[in-house]
Structure 1
Amino acid sequence: MIYYSTGELIMKKRVGIVLACLMSFAIVISGCGSSSSGNTQYFAGKNAAPEEAGGVYEMAEADSNEQSADYGEGSEPSGQVSDPTRKLITTVNISAESENLDDTITKITARVTELGGYVESSNIYNGSRYSSGQIVRTANYTIRIPADKLNGFIETVETASNITSKSSNVEDVTLSYVDLESRKNALKAEEKSLLAILESAEKIEDIIAVQDKLSDVRYQLESIESQLRTYDNKVNYSTVYLGIEEVAKYSPTEEKGAFERMGEGFMESLRSIGIGLKEFFIWFVIHIPQLLLLAIVAFIVVFIIKRSNKKNPAKRNAALKQQDNKPQDNTEGKDGK
């Protein structure tokens, strides 16, 4: 039977701890290596996939691919791809007109709830500015819609309003997402190894060192998981920035002929004259108290002036005669000389 001294036992424990740390480091290195090779194999398979309707499978040389497009009336955003393994973030900007803002808002918000989305923020201005004799009302929304139901929501907006501009931007974050998942898996493996080392450690300084490393690994894990949750939210729910303005008449969507433009321009001029007369009448009625006060002040001033002129007619006549006699006196003086 072999007996070991206390120094030899301590030495063996230290050697065991060092070997465990080396194994943990090797696991992390191998995990990072598998991350890069995994990314290459992942996209090698995707590049061979055929193109689907509504999306493009071409991969750029950069780490992320952004696509943006402006759409005319009736077109659909082409950012949604049927392949669920790709991570695409879609953002849509829409400017629209409505002849009845309240009715349009009701229809759109009801559709958002029906599709399983939600309104992230909203700003409604009732009479925020005054233009062409009308109080202009506007509404601005930030809406989150499930990505697979985005086209249905855009169709609802087109039906409930007149879209004047629409643009869509699609950002491909697949590479970043896969890289984060690989780092997460490597950190989880390192966490498992550190927990095993912590169980076998006996010296206080060794325990403290392992716990410090374990805390750092767990902090990195929480940060990566937070980034992945943010990506998942943006990928699963497309963002729609919607601005609606209430108008009396929709903007024309097609260019009109010369005679039609002249006729509409003439009618618009008549309408502007009518609005001007109406606004003047409204202004006059609103300012009747001020106008009455000015009229009273003017009447008093005129009355005082006339009264003062009636009281001193003799003085005025004498002053006039004196002015008429002055040139004659000067003439007689010259003749006397």
Structure 2
Amino acid sequence: MIFSCGQNFSDSGTSEIGHDGENFEELLDIPLTEQPPPPPPPKNISANEISRKLIKSGRLELESKNFQKDRQVILDYLGKFGGYVEQENENNSEFRKTLFLTIRIPSNSFDSMFILSTAVGRKVINRSVNVEDATLRYLDLEASIESSKALENRYREILKQANSIKDILEIEKSLNSIRAEIDLYESRFRNLSSKISYSSLEIILSENVTVAENPDLGYLNKLINSFGYGWKGLGQFLLGIVSIWPFILVAGLIGFLIRRRIKKK
């Protein structure tokens, strides 16, 4: 329908379109998804010419001897391969320290980074690697962007030949819809391309914290400490008495009055 309309516009001129907008109405009544753009030039691409688009991700859980030292070793490797830290969290408890690192590495360096990281720390607790083939998704998005842009260009050509306000408004409305669709496709394509170009690796470093026990102080030290505790207890007792002096004063006064009354009888 688009091709036939475009041919009519070029043959009859703009004056005919201005007098009769039926061709535009017929075009715009068809949903955008059912209006194919001009076919792209034929491409003879063999299966060997299509490079696979792979998304690699991994997870490493390591037990560490020296928490900060092992962290620095990983960051040094990361800088060597041109990667970066996407997220870092540290969790410390009384008996254990844990570091959560999410890093992004160029895909061609993922395997080397993963192997080197397994040698960090005292031992590997858990490790896993996942590879997702995103070739079809990549090609589908690429084709959708190309097709939508071709349709957008076709509408722009038609818009240049439109004279009536109604036709112009309808075509511009369709162009806005197509542009929104293109923006969505391109956003998804950028996100997918980023995942393909930079692999993700989650590294968990954990270190056990040893609680030092108090050594036996010996009898003499215990005796000295006992004197200290006794003196401290006496001080607390005196402070307690001082804090209740009003009650003692009232009790003494009541006792004095009672004894005086008894003597009078």
Code of the residue aligned with 2:196 in structure 1: it is V
| Structure 2, unaligned runs of 5 or more | 1-14, 239-265
Match of 2:93 among 129, 136, 148: 129
Number of residue pairs the alignment of both structures matches: 215
SS in 1 for 2:51: coil
- Equivalent runs, 1:91-106 vs 2, <5 Å: 91-106=57-72
Tell me if structure 1 keeps the 8 A contact 2:28–2:170: no
Confirm or deny: 8 A CA contact 2:60 2:118 kept in the other structure.
Answer: no
Distance 1:199 1:20, change over 3 A: farther
Contact 1:28 1:186 in 2 (8 A): no
- Are the structure 2 counterparts of residues 24 and 196 from structure 1 closer, same or farther at C-alpha, using a change threshold of 3 Å? farther
TM-score normalized by structure 2?
0.67
| Partner SS state of residue 82, structure 2 | coil
Residue type matched to 2:60 in 1? I
**Which of 172, 184, 188 pairs up with 1:211?**
172
- In structure 2, what is the equivalent of residue 29 of structure 1? 36
Structure 1 residues 145-160: aligned runs within 5 Å: 145-160=105-120
Higher relative contact order (CA 8 A, sep 6+): 2
Tell me the residue number matched to 1:87. Answer: 53
**How does 1:1-337 map onto structure 2 within 5 Å?**
9=16, 13-14=20-21, 17=24, 28-29=35-36, 46=47, 85-125=51-91, 128-131=92-95, 136-161=96-121, 162-247=123-208, 275-278=212-215, 292=229, 296=233
Query: CA contact under 8 A between 1:91 and 1:240: conserved in structure 2?
Result: yes
Give, in angstroms, the shift of residue 111 of structure 1. Answer: 1.2
Q: Give the CA deviation at 1:29.
A: 3.4
Cα pair distance change 1:12/1:102, threshold 3 Å: same
Task: Work out the CA distance in 1 between the residues paired with 2:142 and 2:21.
Answer: 34
Matched-pair contact (CA < 8 Å) for 1:27–1:189:
no
Q: CA RMSD in A?
A: 4.0
Partners of 1:115 and 1:149 within 8 A in 2: yes
Q: Percent identity?
A: 23
- Structure 1, unmatched stretches of 5+, are 1-7, 50-82, 250-271, 302-337
* C-alpha displacement of 1:18: 5.7
1:160 is displaced (CA, Å) by 2.4
User: Secondary structure in 1 aligned to 2:176?
Assistant: helix
The alpha-carbon deviation at position 156 of structure 1 amounts to: 2.0
3-state DSSP of counterpart to 2:233: helix
